[in-house]
C-alpha cells in the first residue's frame, strides 16, 4: 500500500496534509485539490479494495508518490492506533495539517425515536473517533501544525437550528465534538503545545451525506470543490490565537456575537 520510499519524507520543504476519511465527498475533494497544489497527502480509507478507494487512487493519477493511502476506521481504537503507529515509522515526518473529516449522518435520528445503538453510532463516529485520533497523533513526537475537525453548524450550541427535524443525534454528536475540541485546545495551551485546533463547518455541500429528502428548503448548496477551495484558505489563515474556535467555509464564526468562533 505504501507507494513511495520513506526517504522522500526527509525532504521537509513541502506541506504535508493528513486527510482522515478520504474515500468520497469532502475528504476526496481535499485530496484532489491538494494533489493539484503539489502538496503531499496521507489519505485514509476504511477499505483499500472497495470502489471508493480506487476512486482515490484515480485522483492520485500516476503520481502516487505524493499521496499515500492508509487504512483507518475511526470506530475502532485498534485501527486508529495501527494507523498512527505506521505514521510514527515514517522517518522525519512532520505534518502541517490534519483534517479529521470522517463522519456519518443516518437520517432521521430524532431524540424522541432514535435507538440507543443509532445514537451511540453517531457519537462514536462523529465525536469519540475524531477526538481519539487527534489524541493518538498528539501523543507521538510527530510535529503537527494544525488539526481541523470537520464539524457542522447543526452542532452549534450558540445557533440552535430548530428546523432540522431528524438531526438530534447528529447535532448532539457535533456539539459534543465542538466542546471536546475546545477542551483539547485549552489542554494544549496549558502544556505549551502550539498545535492549532480548529472546528469547521464546510457549508451545505452536495455529497452522499446530504443526499436525503428533508422537508425544509436547504439554501445555498455548494459543490465539494467550492467548499474545499474556501476551507483550505480559511484553515491556512488561522494561527495559535485561534485555537479552539469554529469557522465556516466562508471564514465566518458560527454566530458572530463574540468575535471568536462560537462553538
Ligand X SMILES: NC(=O)c1ccc[n+]([C@@H]2O[C@H](COP(=O)([O-])OP(=O)(O)OC[C@H]3O[C@@H](n4cnc5c(N)ncnc54)[C@H](OP(=O)(O)O)[C@@H]3O)[C@@H](O)[C@H]2O)c1
Q: What minimum distance in Å lies between the beta carbon of 191 and ligand X?
A: 27
Q: What minimum distance in Å lies between the beta carbon of 225 and ligand X?
A: 12
**Other CB atoms closer than 10 Å to residue 88's CB: what's the count?**
13
Q: In degrees rounded to 5, what are phi and psi of residue 19?
A: -115, 110
- Residue closer to ligand X, measured from CB, 151 or 243: 151
For the chain, list the strands marked E by DSSP: 16-20, 40-45, 67-71, 95-100, 144-150, 196-201, 245-248
Indicate whether 159 belongs to the interface with ligand X (CB under 6 A). Answer: no
**What CA–CA distance (Å, rounded) separates 140 from 257?**
37
Q: What minimum distance in Å lies between the beta carbon of 213 and ligand X?
A: 14
- Asked if the bond preceding 21 is cis, omega within 30° of 0, the reply is no
- Residue closer to ligand X, measured from CB, 106 or 189: 106
The arrangement of strands across the sheet holding 196-201 comes to 67-71, 40-45, 16-20, 95-100, 144-150, 196-201, 245-248
Site size toward ligand X, by CB under 6 A: 27
- Secondary structure letter of residue 222 according to DSSP: B
Residue from 4, 46, 118, 226 touching ligand X (CB under 6 A): that is 46
- Residue closer to ligand X, measured from CB, 9 or 166: 166
Binding string to ligand X for residues 76 to 115, with x set by CB under 6 A, is what? Answer: -------------------------xxxx-----------
Question: Restricting to residues 129-158, which ones interact with ligand X according to CB under 6 A?
Answer: 150, 152
Indicate whether 26 belongs to the interface with ligand X (CB under 6 A). Answer: yes
Name the helix (H) or strand (E) containing 33: helix 25-36
Binding string to ligand X for residues 188 to 217, with x set by CB under 6 A, is what? Answer: -------------xx-xx-xxxx-------
- Residue closer to ligand X, measured from CB, 90 or 228: 228
**What CA–CA distance (Å, rounded) separates 198 from 216?**
29
Q: Which residues bind ligand X (CB under 6 A)?
A: 21, 23-27, 46, 52, 72-75, 101-104, 125, 150, 152, 201-202, 204-205, 207-210
Amino acid at each position: 500500500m505504501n507507494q513511495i520510499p520513506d526517504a522522500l519524507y526527509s525532504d521537509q520543504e513541502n506541506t504535508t496534509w493528513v486527510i482522515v476519511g478520504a474515500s468520497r465527498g469532502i475528504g476526496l475533494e481535499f485530496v484532489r485539490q491538494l494533489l493539484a497544489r503539489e502538496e503531499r497527502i496521507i489519505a485514509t480509507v476504511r477499505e483499500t479494495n472497495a470502489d471508493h478507494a480506487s476512486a482515490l487512487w484515480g485522483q492520485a493519477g500516476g503520481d502516487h508518490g505524493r499521496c499515500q493511502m492508509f487504512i483507518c476506521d475511526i470506530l475502532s481504537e485498534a485501527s486508529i492506533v495501527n494507523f498512527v503507529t505506521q505514521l510514527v515509522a515514517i522517518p522525519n515526518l512532520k505534518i502541517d495539517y490534519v483534517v479529521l473529516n470522517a463522519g456519518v449522518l443516518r437520517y432521521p435520528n430524532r431524540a424522541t425515536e432514535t435507538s440507543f445503538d443509532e445514537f451511540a453510532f453517531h457519537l462514536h463516529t462523529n465525536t469519540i473517533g475524531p477526538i481519539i485520533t487527534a489524541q493518538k497523533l498528539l501523543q507521538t513526537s510527530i510535529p503537527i501544525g494544525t488539526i481541523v475537525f470537520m464539524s457542522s453548524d447543526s452542532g452549534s450550541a450558540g445557533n440552535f437550528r430548530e428546523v432540522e427535524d431528524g438531526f438530534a443525534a447528529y447535532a448532539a454528536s457535533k456539539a459534543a465534538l465542538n466542546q471536546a475540541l475546545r477542551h483539547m485546545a485549552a489542554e494544549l495551551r496549558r502544556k505549551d503545545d502550539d498545535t492549532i485546533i480548529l472546528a469547521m463547518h464546510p457549508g451545505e455541500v452536495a455529497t452522499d451525506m446530504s443526499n436525503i429528502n428533508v422537508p425544509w428548503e436547504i439554501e445555498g448548496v455548494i459543490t465539494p470543490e467550492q467548499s474545499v477551495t474556501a476551507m483550505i484558505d480559511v484553515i491556512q489563515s488561522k494561527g495559535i490565537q485561534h485555537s479552539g474556535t469554529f469557522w465556516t467555509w466562508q471564514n465566518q464564526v458560527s454566530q458572530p456575537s463574540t468575535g471568536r468562533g462560537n462553538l
